Amino acid sequence: MRFNAIRQFYKKCIVIGIYERRLHINSSTVPYHSDILKHSINKTLFAAKQILNFSKIFHVKGEAEIMSGGQIKSFTVDYNDVLEAQKDDSVLIIDVREPSEIDETGKLPGSIHIPMGDVTSTLTNLSEEDFVKKFNKSKPHNNTKIILSCRSGKRSGMVQEELQKIGYENVYNYMGGWLNWESNQN
């Protein structure tokens, strides 16, 4: 996940800062380049902190939205939420696993199957009529509640981000995905 990569980069920058302080880099230890080195390390640390702060905001925005009154609206769902959604015709559940996975296990009950790489193009390029013909469900609008599922929740989380980027405002990720669904069925 991009957030973890940024966090790792930040940690490396902190280590550089610690070594800089331990080595006591100053004009006597590095006579010709000390100011450049100190400036470079400080700029790197500052940039890393800015990236980390931005990534925290972006990461949180992807997972939750602060509503009026200070409440947090989660963009993830669990097994019980999916059970409820299956009873609601206004909610579209999309299983984004690959066809071979669907052939092996079947799709999530009540869902339509669109492979991960095809979700965005299917939702943007298919007409309302073609969508209904293909999936026997209404094509979602930007405010339609959509629940995405995959094997464990990672791929559906990536699709969630893509759909949010193109304007879908009510997209949820089923954390745990098929594995969670299957374990709750036994």
Are 120 and 166 in contact, with CB atoms under 8 Å apart? yes
Q: How many angstroms separate the CA atoms of 59 and 166, rounded?
A: 17
Integer angstrom CA distances of residue 165 from 14, 28, 158: 32, 52, 11
Q: Which residues are paired to 173 by β-bridges?
A: 76, 148
| pLDDT for res 60 | 41
Residues with active-site annotation:
150
The alpha helices in 72-153, defined as continuous H runs, are 79-86, 99-105, 119-125, 128-135
What is the pTM (predicted TM-score) of this model?
A: 0.63
Closest CA to 2 of 74, 64, 62: 62
| Torsion over CA: 55, 57, 61, 63 (sign) | positive
User: What does the pLDDT profile of the chain (186 residues) look like in tens digits?
Assistant: 445 555 555 555 554 444 444 444 444 444 545 555 555 555 555 555 555 444 433 444 444 454 444 444 569 999 999 999 999 999 999 999 999 999 999 999 999 999 999 999 999 999 999 999 999 999 999 999 999 999 999 999 999 999 999 999 999 999 999 999 999 987
- Supply the Cα-derived Rg of the chain in whole angstroms: 23
Residue found under tokens 């969670």 = 180
Handedness of CA 165, 166, 170, 176 (dihedral sign): negative
